[in-house]
Structure 1
């Protein structure tokens, strides 16, 4: 392992690593445009110049291998002058678009110019004109004049998405980035080229002109679009409701996690957040009329208490959702199944979705494996279809549905029949759907980014969701609702916050034993899962792939068929 000195500090670096990588282990940032840790090394932007003693010329840190005894200066006058010269060339034909460019405020051309540029421009010639504001795909806009030809997007489509849409054409100052003839940037990971573009050449058509980046707040969370559980940052605005029809979330960006999604995410997850701000339930309702939480909880607990006191728990059915956190599923199990003796399931027909061998999973629920670990899905667990059938047959008096639209199981006329037959029909969830219309009580609950908790992804990794911002004014987190119900039923549960509920869960379930939110951290932790749970997940994925190949929808094992 070579030992070298960078800016007066010694560091041991692995064989084959480069100066820029060794510097990062010391916390030394060397400017870069073309270099990206997830892509091959191109070495074409030259902005990462450093001075290496006994070498007469400046070297590019991204492609200079480390060697024992090497002495590197990243901030010497010679290195700074070299970078300043490179920057001057890069900006020679660059348009003065900063006031109207979406990248302004997070642009490395701006940042590096202010950090070490500040030269007196000498370019007096006419700038080369190229194409501007070209929609090259559903999600991406190209401005050729702003491109500095770093080739990150070219390498991404060649090496990561393996779709090869981009190329660099022509020579000299006429060189330009474009798509190959007849191509369109519509691969499932196209939005990532916007993330890795260091300037304003590739911008997001969905985010374009919505807000200046300095107005955005950011918080870490997970994507709930499928069982992969990609780590993301949500960028949002809470204090400018007059913009974007009051939508709080403006964009979603991938957050690095080496064990889950690295630097990337799919377009379906990136642009699938609209439901969080649109079509939300905002009021408690009783048979179509506005009501309040006190009346709703009182009515629900009265019926539940009567079932419990009469030993009639078998006449209670609960359909939970694998969109709920582990903490909430644990509370549902403890209250409705173990305390009241009801039929509880999180097994619901899973629509066959797109999948690939990279990040996109056919299972479009983020916590299917968590529900299986808690015993709410899998062999021996009644599926949602059987519970609805029992209710239609009069064998269930109280039905509580968490988030699901039952018209995916039965026609809407059957929901009307359920509404007539059941003594209590509760829907708690986030968005409007046909089941809401026929429920006796409708309880608006928080979206997953409005509460804390954990999901278990398809690889058995438990990860924190993280509360991004508060719930809507009349909505409640499911866990607060469940704790209130347990208290009124005289079955109080330990824990008054998600992290405390998780500690109780960890005591009760061996796969979670010894874990806490602190140990899970921001990148998650692997669970020691029972073999049966893992094989069940493998079977689920296999069935989903088989159904997709057959061109139809096939319920996963343990779910209700049509």
Structure 2
């Protein structure tokens, strides 16, 4: 391993490491725009210039590979003057859009100007070159060519990651800009990543545009629920409203990317939420209190099992539920109600669409977890639906907001065959409209737990803020329901449930929240 010295600090790095990455090892920040760890090295922004002893001129840190004995300086007057000069050239034609630019607050150009710039422009305002501003170039992206600093990150992403090559450089000199060919808009499932990797405000998200200033937002670690890939995300919120999801680095799952579909799944956590318990009385839906509704639900489920036998009761689980929630639900079904009618809704609308990068055909985050916990699906789910349709079920406990891929009309007709339908769900929909009792549960943003992705990696998601309205954590709902059915559980949250799960379920044996960590743990 070569050893080099950066600003007087010695560091050993693997062969092939660049100066830029070596500097990160010792906590030295080298400014850069064009470099991205998941893209090829371009070396065209020239912001990462550093002084290397015995080299006659400044070197680009992003492309210069470390050699043994190399001595690097990043804070000399020569370096600072060069970086300031590069920054001034970038700003010559750059518009002063900061007050209205969505990138303000997380803009590389803004940040480096405050650190290395703070100069007045020496270029006459009337001589500035103006370019097209608000351009809808397809997908989730709006292009402002005047803000672009030509770092080429977006061009390389579409060349090297998606392979779709929609963006190109056009013209030369100070008229150079990126754009699409006429009639050839962005046409891939990963356009939102362009806004993530753009270091300035040239490429912004149509969805997030003008919604909220980033300094008002708080963030937390979560997992995308759009499919079984389990992409790691940063969720950003203000108050109890989510504003966006951005990919969080996990080399074993999604690297630094996420798809456009998953990026918009946060909307379901804001819209049409179930926020208060509901009971149906003589055909009318009325708000209810938790203290009276849960005992009533437990009584009706137990009554159906005792009068008609356990097989007159059914439980439908959801692969949108966490491993911890599925574990409790299975125990309620098999141990407390004694029913064999347990299955999970393995199909949802949109199943089947996939690609060879991130998008999986299964549009649920935890189907693998449900299978590992022994909850039937496929033919078992179809048989359960057939039993309901045939009038063979007197009481149904349904977790989730859908019954497979059934339409609203089909769901209403099916559930009308069941005298008692209890829903534990997050959103208004065909199930909540047909249910005799609705127990509103917290969304993924409001609760914690684990999902098991399609590859068998168990990953944690964490709550960002308390449950909205009168909704409760589904673990709290299931524990109380189980205890009213005679369980005698003492669980006080997802961590205690996971400990019990890991002790009794072989696939999860030996796992802890600590061993799962930030990046997950394989089964």
TM above 0.5: yes
Partner of 1:42: 42
Q: Which moved further from structure 2: 366-375 or 126-135?
A: 126-135
The answer on whether the counterparts of 1:494 and 1:504 sit within 8 Å (CA) in structure 2 is no
The answer on whether the counterparts of 2:148 and 2:201 sit within 8 Å (CA) in structure 1 is yes
State the distance in 2 between where 1:347 and 1:132 align.
Answer: 46
State the distance in 2 between where 1:414 and 1:221 align.
Answer: 31
State the distance in 1 between where 2:179 and 2:411 align.
Answer: 54
Stretches of structure 1 that go unaligned for 5 or more consecutive residues are: 240-247, 528-562
State the distance in 1 between where 2:18 and 2:418 align.
Answer: 71
Partner of 1:221: 222
Partner of 1:558: none
Partner of 2:343: 345
Cα deviation for residue 493 of structure 1 reads 2.3
The answer on whether the counterparts of 1:227 and 1:364 sit within 8 Å (CA) in structure 2 is yes
State the distance in 2 between where 1:105 and 1:383 align.
Answer: 52
Q: Structure 1 residues 183, 278: closer, same or farther in 2, change over 3 A?
A: same
The answer on whether the counterparts of 2:153 and 2:198 sit within 8 Å (CA) in structure 1 is yes
Question: For each residue in 1:381-437, what CA deviation from the matched residue of structure 2 results, as whole angstroms up to 9, or x when unmatched?
Answer: 862332232234343321111114338448847845754653x22122111222222
Listed as ranges, the matches of 1:23-102 within 5 Å are 23-102=23-102
3-state secondary structure, aligned to 1:318: strand
Partner of 2:231: 230
State the distance in 2 between where 1:410 and 1:62 align.
Answer: 53
Stretches of structure 2 that go unaligned for 5 or more consecutive residues are: none
**Which of the residues 265, 276, 282 maps onto 1:283?**
276
Listed as ranges, the matches of 1:113-262 within 5 Å are 113-124=113-124, 126-238=127-239, 248-262=241-255
Partner of 1:384: 381
State the distance in 1 between where 2:7 and 2:254 align.
Answer: 33
**Which of the residues 318, 342, 346 maps onto 1:321?**
318
Q: Structure 1 residues 516, 198: closer, same or farther in 2, change over 3 A?
A: same
Partner of 2:441: 445
3-state secondary structure, aligned to 2:239: coil
State the distance in 2 between where 1:108 and 1:406 align.
Answer: 46
The answer on whether the counterparts of 1:428 and 1:445 sit within 8 Å (CA) in structure 2 is yes
State the distance in 1 between where 2:391 and 2:219 align.
Answer: 49
The answer on whether the counterparts of 2:345 and 2:404 sit within 8 Å (CA) in structure 1 is no
State the distance in 2 between where 1:417 and 1:54 align.
Answer: 79
The answer on whether the counterparts of 1:429 and 1:444 sit within 8 Å (CA) in structure 2 is yes
Partner of 1:541: none
Cα deviation for residue 55 of structure 1 reads 1.4
The answer on whether the counterparts of 2:333 and 2:342 sit within 8 Å (CA) in structure 1 is yes
Cα deviation for residue 117 of structure 1 reads 1.8
Structure 1 vs Structure 2 CA RMSD:
1.9
The answer on whether the counterparts of 1:444 and 1:474 sit within 8 Å (CA) in structure 2 is yes
